[in-house]
């Protein structure tokens, strides 16, 4: 008899086979040895059934049919993977298989994937759970030896199914009721809507922001030794805090400019050492934010690269929200440092880190804390080194993780911080001078200074050695004019951070504690949520910035507050956590979600219909290309708002030759009259092709010539020879 091991992806199945049964022979959908079979799921092989799968009448969206709450949710196969699903189900039920191992990704989603497939296959054989945080040989062997019965994870699976059911119920019903009520195809979701609300709220703050001019007064002082330094006029409060350092008018600032010559006295002079500890190990959000800030990578791209690095065994499991290691894992950090030491880029730094192992363990729970590791520990490098040929985003992200890992073994950076308060002897005005200089690099030697950081070189102003009571001359005054700045728009990095910490401002202490680790979405889903907002036209990406569209703003104004606030997610995560830990029955959560769904439908049904402004996209290229009137969206595209006028019947379908255009591609086509060459089109025979789209006289055609033209070659600049 044989054991069947099912992973989530082919690469992980191959890694497991390589460690557990290296002699296993490769087949089209599995690897097999004399006593083991390895197969994979390809992610989700099943999806929740669409509403019309329960009743054909749901194909048409009607208020009278809502809410749609099936007694039990059904699943459907996916056309692309249906054949593979049947093969996996047949393997699970093969007569010579007497035991099954669930080796899907260790977490709520991985558990869900396996349970969906096992239900589809009506699996009744014993199942063990293989829980992996990395795919190195030692980790695989240790996890395989410590497997537990699948039943130990039943509560986790129940929470996964409940979360899936709740998102389906709210998404299906809220999207339908708001779309029908307001005559506009809308997408509403438990997580995507409050995420959109963050962007809309920030944009509202920017639009309502009124810049204010302010003035600051700076004095220049000269010591007995003719050394000069500058100080900023301030009013000091208790505890060395600055209560005021600016004026509303230039005249107010000039009132504190007094005739020269005059003198001041050093009223206070302090010097202290500031220690900056190395950063914590990163979780997924940390890596995504840093990759976006440093390399301009989207969260989705970063997650894909991380997944590849994980599947190849170079880094630990990426979908984690933890920044700590377990005590048992911390005992094996030497091997990981050894792997870095063998790499040219990190050899010297890894050698220093090995010499500082004692210091790492003295940091205690800053880096190692079992209570702060749930499903997975922080993202760190493994004992397997990537090849020297690793390049592009893979190399960038690996280096980012490696530096963060090494930093934990380096000493703190130390800065000398000096502060001087100079006091006008006659008028008692106070002027504050500060100077910060790095005196020990510590871990910061691993992080080259960037444009966004000025700490590495200290402050630019010179500040001589001064003592309390020293008398200095006032050499002059300068009034500086400034203008207050509006809040910054969200970059993808900033939005990821806001989603992760979304619950910090909740008033309920219990829910606030839940949201410390939950946030909006999960580490695995935040990237997809952002991409979803862009796809449905609520958000547009402008370089690194994410901006809400008029459609997105209108939706947030339309839906009930509860759907736009983080409170809903906090309450759900609190209840799901209780189910996951076996502290609460899943039935209570299901009843609460059913009630919430009915409330949302009732509120939307009775609310007055809105004139949805986002239906018009006149901003895209000036509207209708034939008459200039605004365009209105409908489920399958855009049409001229004067569609009843026989002189203008412009229609732009958003699905062309099997490819659905994104809002950005539609805008480009309308604004520029053509798009770039795009892939994903299919001919009537089903063959894929690529082409550019061209808009001429209100009609869209393919430009195949653009697709066949080679990319222009870069030309080398001519060198000039001096005669």
**Residue 349 domain-assigned (yes or no):** yes
Where residue 279 falls among pLDDT bands split at 50, 70, 90? very high
Which of 6-10, 60-64, 219-223, 660-664 has maximum average pLDDT? 219-223
Residues 28 and 109 in one domain: yes
Distance of CA 49 to the CA centre of its chain: 28
Does an H or E element contain 292, and which? helix 284-295
CA distance 172 to 527: 21
Residues 271 and 420 in one domain: yes
Tens digits of per-residue pLDDT, 17-34?
A: 999 999 999 999 999 999
Question: Residue 269 pLDDT more than 70?
Answer: yes
Radius of gyration of the chain (CA): 31
Residues 30 and 107 in one domain: yes
CA distance 515 to 584: 19
Mean pLDDT of 578-590: 92
Where residue 169 falls among pLDDT bands split at 50, 70, 90? very high
7: domain CATH number?
3.40.50.140
At residue 118, the 3 state secondary structure works out as helix
pLDDT of residue 708: 65
Strand ranges for 360-429 from DSSP E:
413-424
Pinpoint the alpha helices (H) of 332-457. 333-341, 347-355, 357-362, 392-407
Exposed/middle/buried for residue 386 (C-beta within 10 Å: 0-12, 13-18, 19+): buried
First to last CA, the chain: 85
Phi-psi category of 605—alpha, beta or left, where left has phi over 0 and alpha has psi -120 to 50?
A: alpha
Where residue 569 falls among pLDDT bands split at 50, 70, 90? confident
pLDDT of residue 605: 86
Q: Which of 284-293, 378-387, 521-530, 595-604 has the lowest mean pLDDT?
A: 521-530
Sheet containing strand 127-129, strands side by side: 25-26, 31-32, 36-40, 2-7, 97-103, 127-129, 148-149
Angle at which helices 284-295 and 526-535 cross, to 10°:
50
The dihedrals phi and psi of 639, each to the nearest 5 degrees, come to -135, 160
Catalytic residue among 153, 215, 229, 317: 317
The residue with tokens 């894909």 is 304
Give the contacts of 397 (CB within 8 A, at least 6 positions apart): 287, 291, 297, 302, 305, 306, 309
Produce one character per residue of 408-431: b if its CB has 16 or more CB atoms within 10 Å, e if not.
Answer: bbbbbbbbeebbbbbbbeeeebbb
pLDDT of residue 688: 83
Mean pLDDT of 380-391: 93
- Considering only residues 38 and 452, tell me which one the structure prediction assigns the higher pLDDT: 38
CB-CB contact of 310 with 364 (8 Å): no
Q: Which of 183-197, 536-550, 639-653, 661-675 has the lowest mean pLDDT?
A: 639-653
Mean pLDDT of 434-462: 73
Exposed/middle/buried for residue 378 (C-beta within 10 Å: 0-12, 13-18, 19+): buried
Among 351, 386, 407, give the residue marking a domain's end.
407
pLDDT of residue 457: 38
CA distance 379 to 370: 15
Residues 459 and 531 in one domain: no
At residue 100, the 3 state secondary structure works out as strand
**Residue 716 domain-assigned (yes or no):** no
Mean pLDDT of 321-336: 89
**Residue 158 domain-assigned (yes or no):** no
Where residue 713 falls among pLDDT bands split at 50, 70, 90? very low
Joined together, the tokens standing for residue 502 give: 């979304």
Residues 351 and 435 in one domain: no
Residues 393 and 376 in one domain: yes
Does an H or E element contain 591, and which? helix 586-606
Q: Could you list the residue range(s) of the whole structural domain that residue 449 is in?
A: 213-277+413-483
Residues 10 and 125 in one domain: yes
Among 547, 573, 606, give the residue marking a domain's end.
606
Residues 548 and 677 in one domain: no
Question: Residue 615 pLDDT more than 50?
Answer: no
The dihedrals phi and psi of 379, each to the nearest 5 degrees, come to -80, 120
Where residue 120 falls among pLDDT bands split at 50, 70, 90? very high
CB-CB contact of 167 with 112 (8 Å): no
The dihedrals phi and psi of 186, each to the nearest 5 degrees, come to -125, 150
Question: Residue 12 pLDDT more than 70?
Answer: yes
Residues 522 and 456 in one domain: no
Question: Residue 330 pLDDT more than 50?
Answer: yes
Give the contacts of 373 (CB within 8 A, at least 6 positions apart): 322, 324, 325, 326
**Residue 136 domain-assigned (yes or no):** yes
The residue with tokens 């030794």 is 225
**Residue 152 domain-assigned (yes or no):** no
Exposed/middle/buried for residue 102 (C-beta within 10 Å: 0-12, 13-18, 19+): buried
pLDDT of residue 517: 57
Give the contacts of 428 (CB within 8 A, at least 6 positions apart): none
Joined together, the tokens standing for residue 36 give: 């083991």
Question: Residue 109 pLDDT more than 80?
Answer: yes
Mean pLDDT of 646-659: 79
The pTM (predicted TM-score) of the whole model is: 0.76
Mean pLDDT of 285-292: 94
**Residue 715 domain-assigned (yes or no):** no
Residues 288 and 326 in one domain: yes
Residues 246 and 218 in one domain: yes
The total number of structural domains in the chain stands at: 5
Tens digits of per-residue pLDDT, 129-160?
A: 999 887 778 889 999 999 999 999 999 999 99
Parallel, antiparallel, or unpaired: how do β-strands 2-7 and 97-103 relate? Answer: parallel
CA distance 107 to 524: 10
Tens digits of per-residue pLDDT, 208-247?
A: 999 999 999 999 999 999 999 999 999 999 888 999 999 9
Establish whether 317 is a catalytic residue: yes
**Residue 611 domain-assigned (yes or no):** no
Give the contacts of 96 (CB within 8 A, at least 6 positions apart): 1, 2
Where residue 685 falls among pLDDT bands split at 50, 70, 90? confident
pLDDT of residue 190: 86
Parallel, antiparallel, or unpaired: how do β-strands 659-660 and 655-656 relate? Answer: antiparallel
CB-CB contact of 671 with 625 (8 Å): no
CA distance 593 to 170: 8
579: domain CATH number?
1.10.460.10
362: domain CATH number?
1.10.290.10
CB-CB contact of 368 with 325 (8 Å): yes
CB-CB contact of 144 with 20 (8 Å): yes
Mean pLDDT of 33-58: 94
Residues 16 and 140 in one domain: yes
**Residue 75 domain-assigned (yes or no):** yes
Among 112, 146, 180, give the residue marking a domain's end.
146
Q: Torsion angle of alpha carbons 394, 396, 400, 406, nearest 10°?
A: 90
CB-CB contact of 395 with 344 (8 Å): no
Mean pLDDT, the chain, integer: 87
């Amino acid at each position: 008899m044989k054991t069947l091991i099912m992973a989530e992806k082919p690469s992980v199945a191959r890694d497991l086979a390589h460690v557990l049964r290296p002699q296993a022979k490769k087949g089209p959908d599995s690897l097999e040895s004399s006593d083991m079979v390895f197969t994979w799921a390809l992610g989700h092989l099943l999806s929740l059934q669409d509403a019309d799968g329960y009743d054909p009448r749901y194909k048409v969206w009607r208020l009278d049919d809502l809410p749609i709450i099936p007694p039990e949710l059904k699943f459907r196969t996916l056309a692309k993977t249906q054949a593979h699903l049947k093969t996996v189900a047949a393997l699970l039920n093969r007569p010579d298989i007497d035991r099954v191992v669930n080796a899907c990704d260790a977490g709520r989603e991985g558990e869900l994937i396996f349970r969906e497939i096992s239900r589809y296959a009506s699996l009744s054989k014993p199942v063990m759970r293989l829980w992996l945080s990395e795919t190195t040989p030692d980790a695989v062997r240790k996890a395989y030896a410590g497997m537990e019965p699948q039943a130990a994870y039943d509560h986790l699976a129940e929470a996964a199914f409940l979360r899936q059911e709740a998102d389906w119920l709210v998404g299906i019903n809220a999207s339908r009721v708001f779309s029908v009520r307001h005559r506009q195809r809308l997408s509403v979701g438990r997580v995507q809507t409050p995420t959109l609300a963050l962007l809309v709220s920030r944009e509202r703050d920017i639009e309502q922001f009124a810049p204010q001019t302010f003035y600051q007064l700076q004095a220049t002082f000269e010591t007995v030794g003719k050394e000069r330094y500058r100080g900023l006029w301030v009013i000091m409060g208790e505890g060395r805090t600055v209560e005021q350092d600016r004026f509303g008018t230039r005249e107010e600032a000039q009132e504190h400019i007094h005739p020269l010559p005059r003198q001041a006295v050093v009223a206070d002079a302090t010097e202290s050492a500031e220690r900056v500890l190395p950063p914590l190990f990163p979780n997924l959000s940390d890596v995504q934010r840093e990759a976006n800030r440093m390399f301009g990578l989207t969260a989705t791209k970063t997650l894909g690269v991380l997944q590849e690095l994980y599947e190849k065994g170079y880094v630990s499991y990426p979908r984690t929200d933890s920044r700590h290691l377990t005590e048992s894992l911390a005992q094996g950090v030497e091997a990981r440092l050894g792997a870095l030491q063998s790499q040219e880029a990190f050899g010297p730094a890894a050698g220093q880190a090995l010499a500082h192992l004692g210091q790492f363990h003295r940091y205690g729970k800053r880096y190692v804390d079992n209570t702060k590791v749930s499903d997975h520990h922080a993202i760190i490098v493994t004992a397997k080194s990537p090849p020297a040929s690793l390049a592009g985003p893979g190399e960038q992200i690996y280096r980012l993780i490696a530096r963060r890992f090494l930093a934990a073994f380096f000493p703190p950076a130390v800065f000398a911080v000096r502060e001087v308060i100079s006091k006008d002897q006659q008028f008692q005005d106070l002027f504050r001078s500060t100077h910060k200089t790095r005196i020990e690099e510590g871990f910061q030697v691993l992080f080259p200074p960037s444009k966004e950081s000025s700490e590495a070189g200290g402050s630019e102003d010179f500040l001589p050695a001064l003592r309390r009571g020293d008398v200095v001359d006032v050499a002059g005054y300068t009034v500086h004019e400034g203008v207050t700045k509006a809040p910054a728009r969200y970059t993808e990095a900033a939005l990821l951070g806001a989603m992760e910490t979304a619950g910090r401002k909740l008033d309920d202490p219990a829910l606030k504690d839940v949201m410390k680790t939950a946030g909006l979405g999960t580490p695995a889903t935040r990237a997809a949520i952002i991409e979803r907002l862009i796809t449905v036209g609520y958000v547009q990406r402008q370089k690194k910035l994410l901006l809400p569209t008029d459609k997105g703003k209108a939706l947030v104004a339309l839906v009930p507050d509860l759907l736009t606030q983080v409170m809903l997610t906090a309450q759900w995560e609190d209840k799901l956590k209780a189910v996951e830990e076996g502290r609460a029955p899943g039935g209570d959560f299901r009843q609460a979600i059913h009630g919430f769904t009915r409330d949302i439908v009732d509120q939307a049904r009775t609310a007055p219909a809105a004139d949805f402004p986002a239906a018009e996209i006149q901003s895209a290229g000036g509207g209708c290309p034939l008459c200039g009137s605004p365009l209105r969206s409908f489920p399958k595209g855009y049409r001229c708002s004067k569609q009843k006028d026989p002189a203008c019947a412009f229609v732009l379908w958003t699905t062309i030759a099997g490819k659905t255009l994104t809002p950005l591609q539609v805008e480009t086509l309308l604004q520029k009259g053509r798009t770039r060459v795009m892939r994903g089109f299919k001919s009537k025979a089903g063959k894929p092709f690529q082409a550019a789209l061209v808009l001429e006289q209100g009609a869209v055609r393919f430009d195949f010539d653009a697709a066949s033209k080679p990319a222009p070659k870069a030309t080398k600049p001519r060198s000039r020879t001096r005669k």
